[in-house]
Amino acid sequence: MINLETPRKFRGLIAQARQVAGQYYRPISRKYDLAEHDYPKELDMLAALLDGMNAGSPESAGARTSKRQSSEHEEGVRNGSNLSTCLGIMELCWGDVGLLLAMPRQGLGNAAIAAVANDEQLKRFDGIWAAMAITEPDCGSDSAAIRTTAVRDGDHYVLNGEKIFVTSGARAGAVVVWATLDKGLGRAAIKSFVVEHGTPGMEVTRLEKKLGIKASDTAAIRFSDCRVPAENLLGNPEVDVAKGFAGVMETFDNTRPMVAAMAVGLAKASLDRARELLQDHCALDYRKPLLSVSHAEAQLYQLEAEWEASRLLTLKAAWMADNRLPNSKEASMAKAKAGRMATDVALKCVELCGLSGYGEDELLEKWARDAKILDIFEGTQQVQLLIVARRLLGKSSKELK
């Protein structure tokens, strides 16, 4: 049974993450929003500091990607690294989402490695900074339509194809690339490969200019006869038609709660700042019924309720992962709810604060731009709702499209 209180062992982590958000991220937040594609050098020192914290702790000190639990037979309720990661992300994204995504060794590809890699691969890729490459020019939300191919050639796989919208694609040390071993076998043949930067045949073709999260680089990458060692195929190389896409989709069960946590953190920042800016106009007396308060107060209360619901859904999805419970439905529910909530909250806070929220003197303006991507990447709002519907109705992807 889940306990809604923050576990005591994570309270130090949360305090550290909030300190990083307030003292490291926010002071340079606007700087790298205005200087898109410039690498935030300040993060190198911070990454080294977090590595030192993590070295002495079994849990994450910041927003390190979640790892599988080592024990198959551990009894009782566990609050593990999935939950701690989400709690840390919420605090760090109270500071800046783009800077979190730009942190060395914190890439979404690391979650893919944690989800499907075998024990030897987990050890070999420990400490690597990995981006994740899924989306293609002709394949967006439908990951099963991937056209990038991987053909076995001796001790290597030869990759050909193009990936777009790869977060940290130019800066990370490696990219986890999704490719198909056989287009005729559909979803079951899709596997993920760790491709290190500098591998011949791998080329970053451009960096995108974006609405928000400008501190984070977003790259397009082309693979032309790119030879990748066979041992870099994550997990089982066999194509299991019966299991289908499930093995690869485990990645999303890890990463979607993380993206939901980003949305929760950004929305909390927006609400906190809106309260500060409106404190002379809104008493915010929670004892009064909504019908007896001003419109602005009522709006803030409603936004807070949406935020709390998103937060609890996110923590539940992460907690289920820690306790080895199937969480695909809950991960999609959290991502759908939190992504939409963050956009609504950030824009409404800008609206409530008027000119103060709309100008570049306030980070509210930036958070409103940053929020939208959280409703798009790692599966759009529409895709999440479709997944939830399939789980609730017991339908397959073929039966419900």
Torsion sign, CA atoms 215, 275, 263, 81: positive
Single out the residue of 84, 110, 23 nearest to residue 314, CA to CA.
84
Out of 162, 297, 330, 378, pick the active-site residue: 378
Single out the residue of 103, 100, 99, 88 nearest to residue 17, CA to CA.
88
Single out the residue of 180, 182, 2 nearest to residue 82, CA to CA.
2
Residue carrying the six token digits 């940290």: 168
Within 8 A by CB and 6+ apart from 293, the residues are 283, 285, 301
* β pairing state of 218-229 and 156-167: antiparallel
b/e per residue 176-201 (b: at least 16 CB within 10 A)? bbbbbbeeeebbbbbbbbbbbbebee
* 3 state SS of 8: helix
DSSP-derived letter for residue 369 is H
N residues, the chain: 401
Give the DSSP H/E element, type plus range, for residue 288: none
Task: Confirm whether 378 is a catalytic residue.
Answer: yes
Catalytic residue IDs: 378
